[in-house]
Amino acid sequence: MITLEELQTALKEALKPTFLELEDRSALHHGHKGNPGGLGVTHLKVHISAPQFENKSPVLLHRAIYQALAPYLAKSLHAVEIQDCL
């Protein structure tokens, strides 16, 4: 089962953010294909700022976040909504 704490640790270690807020949005998708229940966090909203994001395109920012979360996406993390990357 994936926890917010695991996801937060992965993002902090990989990206060294100055601001990071995670929101578990799994309950909004309960019963959907990506959230059959009992898997922990399946849908995540990320609010993040990091110095390395300065002057980078949104595509590069999203790639960095998805790379940091890759082990969890390979498990049961189904969707990631990224906001406030700058």
**Structural domains in the chain plus CATH codes:** 4-83 (3.30.300.90)
Structure-token pair, residue 64: 């960095």
pLDDT of 27 over the 80 cut: no
Q: Residue 74: what residue type? A: A
Mean pLDDT over residues 26-51, rounded? 75
Mean pLDDT over residues 56-80, rounded? 92
pTM given for the model = 0.84
The closest alpha carbon to 78, from 33, 34, 27, 25, belongs to 34
Separation in Å, CA 43 to CA 52, 61, 82:
25, 19, 11
Confidence at residue 82, expressed as pLDDT on a 0 to 100 scale? 92
Confidence at residue 53, expressed as pLDDT on a 0 to 100 scale? 87
pLDDT of 36 over the 60 cut: no
